[in-house]
Structure 1
Amino acid sequence: MDKSLEKQLAGWLRLQKGACGPYLKLSMTLGVANGVALVVQAWLLATMLQGLIIDNLPRQQFIPYFIGFAVLIFVRGALAWGRERAGFAAGRRLRSTLRAAVLDKLGRLGPAWVNGKPAGAWASIVLEQIEDLQDFYGRYLPQMTLAGFIPLIILCCTFPLNWAAGLILLTTAPLIPLFMILVGMGAADANRKNFSALQQLSGHFMDRLKALSTLKLFYRAAAEEKAIAKASEDFRERTMTVLRLAFLSSAVLEFFAAVSIAVVAVYFGFSYLGELNFGHYGVPISLFSGMFILIMAPEFYQPLRDLGTHYHAKAQAIGAAESLMALLEAPEPLNQGHEMLTGSLLSIEARDLQVFSMDGKPLVGPLSFSMRAGEKLALVGPSGAGKTSLLNALLGFLPYQGSLKVNGIELHQIAPASWRQQLAWLGQNPQLFQGSVADNVRLGQPELDDAALWTLLERAKVADFVRAQPAGLAHIVQEFSGGLSVGQAQRIALARALARNAELYLLDEPSASLDSQNEQWVLDALWQAMQQRSCLMVTHRLDQLDRMDRILVLDHGKLVQQGNFAELSQQPGLLATMLAQLPLALSLDDVEIAGGVQA
């Protein structure tokens, strides 16, 4: 990984620690308090050994020391427990806050952005990668503080007793973080590649699982099984690389810590034997000073060793942060305006409007059109003409340039919640969620009571189906509309759209996947609901055009014709060409399939 990118990601991670609340500082404070208690405990033990073994003092004199030593054992245990609890709470708060931020960001970016990655990749970001930040905030950041404070406290206690031992500790201490950095240099990049492989595997697996029936139908199951196996093997190899680095790092840290402690022990051993006579400020080395420093020597290196143990948490967090930072800092299609829409009717005016993809590729325009309040507009054109892109721009899911005004207010100046409150959207693929029928219809309208729900279901011509279910409104809709036919799912989605009582209906081929009976039910309910309301509908159905006030004909992102059905059907142009291909009752989809119109 590029060092500048790694530094940027590490800085971004540190900026997020405010979401941990007071728990992160509490964890650090408890850790430092535990270090101070350790020094006091070492002093008590060394004092008792000096008095009992060397000075031959009576045991009764050291009873308070022994009680204090025993109490500190429980105090240190309580401090360690409290530190772990506080660290976990810090990580949990961070994960909860960050997960909410990610979901809110995805909601603001909209489906045009979300559809750019497989569902499994988003699941990996929301679940796996955010979860892997726990140890960075719960353990690594607190340990960074302890690795600075506790060795400093021990050095302050060591140098007044023996400068040679203090110098040994001070000289050997940098070896541990130095080799930790050297070993861990590739850890962040390895983790980043590991997360990338996990996203690829998750997205690949979930997409193939959803399309399993289609794959079997076209005899592609074996080929996709091999592709999943290849992605799994790639993920396994990258995981083993990460683990190899983690084990190597731990082994190196343990080795240098053991060598450093051994050097301190050898110094005191030879000093007691009279072979070394320096470091004690002219005062003979006592059992107290030797035991006190030797007891603290392992604890001097322990925070650094623990930091090395948790260093992989930093590498793991940096690997996870790349996708998270890119997502959370992604530009949103609409600026978060503050203007509120007023009035009960909506009018739209577009001038030199250009719609772009999220990566800046032009999709539609420039084009100019207007829609009066209460007017019904149809968007017609071959596939790829830009009809759905224009709808996404109106929904606020794609960026645009030029002018797009609603009731005279530029769209990006309107508060998104105020604008979308006026909208009802219905597409050709019903989006129902696992839960009851009532939950799906109430989505966004929690105040609806059961009587209102039945009225909406009656209007959508699906009440008879719901009544036939033993649970009625509590009938469970499975994931991906499981247990429902396409027509039933579309009519439940229609009931949800009708609950909006919106001023503008945005319809993206709402009857494209329905049989003739379901299509008639859906369209009848829509026409009844849209009386005195505005409507912009993408359609390929020719028999619906004469019911619209005006038609906008798009081709390759350009507005090539506009007018009412009577005018355009008689004028030379794309619509007349399309109409001439088939009888009026057939669809434009059939025209494209027949080769009469090129997408």
Structure 2
Amino acid sequence: MNKKQITRWLKGQIQDSFTRGRSARFWLINSIGFGLFSGILIIIQAKLIAYILAESIVNHTPKKELASLFLILLLLVAIRAVFTYFSQITGYSCGESIRRQLRQKLFIYLKKQGLSEISKKPAGAWNNIIFEQVEEIQDFFAKYLPQMILAGIIPLIILSIVFPLNWAAGLIFMITAPLIPFFMIIVGMKAADANKRNFIALQRLSGSFLDRLSAMVTIRIFNQMENESNSLAEASEDFRIRTMQVLKLAFLSSAILEFFTAISIALAAVYFGFSYLDELHFGTYGNGKITLLTGLFILILAPEFFQPLRDLGTYYHAKAKAIGAAESIFTFLKETNTYESETQISKKILKPDINEFELIAKNLVVMANDKTPLTSPLDFSLVKGEKLAITGKSGAGKTSLINAIMGFLPYQGSLTINGMEISEINHEQLHQLISWIGQNPLLLHGTIRENVLLARPEADENTCINALSKAQGLDIIKNKKDGINSIIGDRSAGLSVGQAQRIALARAIVQNGDFWILDEPTASLDKKNEELITSSLKMITADKTALIITHRLNQLKHMDKILVMDKGKIIHKGNYEKLYNAGILNPIESRI
């Protein structure tokens, strides 16, 4: 990946990032401005210190007469500290706005790509990208970019002051200064590659660890604890080695910067020392001698001349880290110019009218995110109040079709709700129409109440209990000490599959969508829980429009329409009686 391209992309994020009502550009300009004023105060401060010392040494001025100058010096130090503080605060705000914008873009990206794309990476890897890697971009905007501007301005201001006083000292500064960024770039190029490898290793370690942790029971049952421990140890060791490589380059870079800075300041000090000993007679204009005030002023300025360059060298590692971290983010987001913000998306169309619900598919071909066709052209329709079942062997394309209907997969052809293409409907507005239950219920770590009221967190306790009652789930809270406030662990820990599915059903009831999508809701349940869920669903969806994937004959009996799919095609259509009498449904159930 081209580093210049990634750097340009990073800088381009400044254009559309906001925090606390201000753009990232506003915060960046303020950070540079405060830093510049702080640099100017350093020059004034250096002049005042040199004057106080010269007056004390050369003119033997009493300290009492210099008291006012000491007070002014203290005031300058305080003001400079304030400017430095605000420079850092505004720089942080610039980075904060960028991080917020990038995370929003990543979440919109994942929402557009859908579950099929998310499942391609372990959860730990996504966590690393969205949180750790975005976080590493902070210092690029908060420190590196402001310092890059200051490193070009402050040394030039100091040179413009030093040259009229002593051209030899100015020449020393001007010749030695470029050595610092030169070696900084050489070391920094290596550091960027090392950081990139380090983030890849961290992604691998994060994904491996979380996957092994969630599959701990399976690993123990199959007696693979030692092998998996060795695998994690290898990933951890790889990450350790790569981290040490990054640190080695960081220490090398710091050593180089300090070395050349020390050499430059030493040259200036040697020059002034020998000039005061009358061994050197150049550097001044005309036949004048170098005064103590001039020498002290320039020597005090010398470290401050190199300090912006040294800081830039230090923060150059922030750039290297940002480039390494941004590569994965850039790879995800480069496919579009810029993902629309939530506001932009919501402006595209109005919420569809659900009073006369009609779902129509014409020549519909569901596509993967890489544009690979997942189905052949499909034609079907579903009107308000109808119940449509889709059945068929595993891999027939049933779940892909549902993902397209919910807006998670792209498609070709036409797929409309009330004449409006689903691809053009805002996802949030579309999902407000839908109550969804999947095959494997996913409950969030939190209380039963929080999970049931996920779609309406402001709803009261009675709403939660009524939903659980309709879902045949009151026995779940009766057996819990804290009732609806009982904690559900990660991956529904503490609940059976049947209990988790009934809570998921209660959650869908609270959502109260007019269009119910059910993806094999009883596939993983025992007979008792299957009967409970089936009876609840029959009652709840009586006046709703429903689309259900199922292989159960007892559920297919109640459907108005049935589509039989195989290898991405609809091979049979009809009602239950027609398809059952033709001997089509019995073989399907026996094969599943």
Equivalent residues of 1:23, 1:87 under 8 A apart: yes
Looking at structure 2, the residues matched to 77 and 408 of structure 1 have their Cα atoms a distance apart, in angstroms, of 63
- Which residue identity does 2:480 align to in structure 1? Q
Deviation string, structure 1 residues 162-190 (Cα, Å, up to 9, x no partner):
12211221121111111100111122222
> What residue is the counterpart of 1:416 in the other structure?
427
Aligned to 2:376, which of 354, 361, 365?
365
Looking at structure 2, the residues matched to 499 and 66 of structure 1 have their Cα atoms a distance apart, in angstroms, of 71
SS in 2 for 1:364: coil
> What residue is the counterpart of 1:208 in the other structure?
212
Equivalent residues of 2:520, 2:550 under 8 A apart: yes
SS in 2 for 1:195: helix
> What residue is the counterpart of 1:30 in the other structure?
34
Equivalent residues of 2:205, 2:236 under 8 A apart: yes
Taking structure 1 as reference, are residues 554 and 542 closer, same or farther at Cα in structure 2, changes over 3 Å only? same
Deviation string, structure 1 residues 247-276 (Cα, Å, up to 9, x no partner):
111111111111111121222222222232
Aligned to 1:304, which of 304, 309, 331?
309
Shift of 1:487: 0.7
Looking at structure 1, the residues matched to 165 and 453 of structure 2 have their Cα atoms a distance apart, in angstroms, of 74
Corresponding position: 1:171 with 2:145:
no
- Which residue identity does 1:579 align to in structure 2? N
Looking at structure 1, the residues matched to 11 and 84 of structure 2 have their Cα atoms a distance apart, in angstroms, of 28
Looking at structure 1, the residues matched to 142 and 536 of structure 2 have their Cα atoms a distance apart, in angstroms, of 55
User: TM-score normalized by structure 1?
Assistant: 0.92
- Which residue identity does 2:294 align to in structure 1? S
- Which residue identity does 1:155 align to in structure 2? L
Moved more, 261-270 or 82-91: 82-91
Aligned to 1:451, which of 452, 462, 470?
462
Deviation string, structure 1 residues 259-307 (Cα, Å, up to 9, x no partner):
1111212222222222322221112111111111011011100110111
Looking at structure 2, the residues matched to 15 and 198 of structure 1 have their Cα atoms a distance apart, in angstroms, of 30
Equivalent residue runs for 1:37-186 within 5 Å: 37-186=41-190
Deviation string, structure 1 residues 431-462 (Cα, Å, up to 9, x no partner):
11111111111111234222222211111001
Equivalent residue runs for 1:498-517 within 5 Å: 498-517=509-528
Looking at structure 1, the residues matched to 469 and 59 of structure 2 have their Cα atoms a distance apart, in angstroms, of 97
SS in 2 for 1:268: helix
Shift of 1:10: 4.2
Shift of 1:22: 4.4
Looking at structure 1, the residues matched to 544 and 470 of structure 2 have their Cα atoms a distance apart, in angstroms, of 17
SS in 2 for 1:451: helix
SS in 2 for 1:552: strand
> What residue is the counterpart of 2:258 in the other structure?
254
> What residue is the counterpart of 2:201 in the other structure?
197
SS in 1 for 2:284: coil
Looking at structure 2, the residues matched to 226 and 63 of structure 1 have their Cα atoms a distance apart, in angstroms, of 69
- Which residue identity does 1:290 align to in structure 2? G
Looking at structure 1, the residues matched to 541 and 311 of structure 2 have their Cα atoms a distance apart, in angstroms, of 66
Looking at structure 2, the residues matched to 322 and 174 of structure 1 have their Cα atoms a distance apart, in angstroms, of 29
SS in 1 for 2:440: coil
Equivalent residues of 2:3, 2:323 under 8 A apart: no
> What residue is the counterpart of 2:530 in the other structure?
519
Shift of 1:75: 2.9
Equivalent residues of 1:26, 1:86 under 8 A apart: yes
> What residue is the counterpart of 2:363 in the other structure?
352
> What residue is the counterpart of 1:596 in the other structure?
none
- Which residue identity does 1:301 align to in structure 2? F
> What residue is the counterpart of 1:276 in the other structure?
280
Equivalent residues of 1:344, 1:503 under 8 A apart: no
- Which residue identity does 1:297 align to in structure 2? A
Taking structure 1 as reference, are residues 12 and 22 closer, same or farther at Cα in structure 2, changes over 3 Å only? closer
- Which residue identity does 2:455 align to in structure 1? G
> What residue is the counterpart of 1:595 in the other structure?
none
Looking at structure 1, the residues matched to 570 and 224 of structure 2 have their Cα atoms a distance apart, in angstroms, of 40
> What residue is the counterpart of 1:321 in the other structure?
326
SS in 2 for 1:363: coil
Looking at structure 2, the residues matched to 68 and 415 of structure 1 have their Cα atoms a distance apart, in angstroms, of 61
> What residue is the counterpart of 1:263 in the other structure?
267
Corresponding position: 1:436 with 2:408:
no
> What residue is the counterpart of 2:495 in the other structure?
484
Shift of 1:7: 3.9
Aligned to 1:579, which of 570, 573, 586?
586
Taking structure 1 as reference, are residues 30 and 187 closer, same or farther at Cα in structure 2, changes over 3 Å only? same
Moved more, 50-59 or 456-465: 50-59
Q: Percent of aligned positions with the same letter in both sequences?
A: 47
Deviation string, structure 1 residues 313-333 (Cα, Å, up to 9, x no partner):
111011111222333455589
SS in 2 for 1:338: coil
Taking structure 1 as reference, are residues 4 and 53 closer, same or farther at Cα in structure 2, changes over 3 Å only? closer
Looking at structure 1, the residues matched to 240 and 277 of structure 2 have their Cα atoms a distance apart, in angstroms, of 55
Taking structure 1 as reference, are residues 432 and 281 closer, same or farther at Cα in structure 2, changes over 3 Å only? same
> What residue is the counterpart of 1:286 in the other structure?
291
Taking structure 1 as reference, are residues 65 and 546 closer, same or farther at Cα in structure 2, changes over 3 Å only? same
Deviation string, structure 1 residues 537-557 (Cα, Å, up to 9, x no partner):
111223322221111111111
Looking at structure 1, the residues matched to 535 and 3 of structure 2 have their Cα atoms a distance apart, in angstroms, of 61
Looking at structure 1, the residues matched to 417 and 9 of structure 2 have their Cα atoms a distance apart, in angstroms, of 40
Deviation string, structure 1 residues 127-171 (Cα, Å, up to 9, x no partner):
211221222222222222221222122112111111221122112
Looking at structure 2, the residues matched to 144 and 354 of structure 1 have their Cα atoms a distance apart, in angstroms, of 51
Deviation string, structure 1 residues 558-594 (Cα, Å, up to 9, x no partner):
11111112222344xxx72x624xxxxxx73x524xx
Shift of 1:111: 2.1
SS in 2 for 1:116: coil
Aligned to 1:398, which of 409, 413, 418?
409
SS in 2 for 1:185: helix
> What residue is the counterpart of 1:591 in the other structure?
591
Aligned to 1:473, which of 481, 484, 492?
484
User: TM-score normalized by structure 2?
Assistant: 0.93
- Which residue identity does 1:353 align to in structure 2? L
Taking structure 1 as reference, are residues 278 and 118 closer, same or farther at Cα in structure 2, changes over 3 Å only? same
Shift of 1:34: 1.8
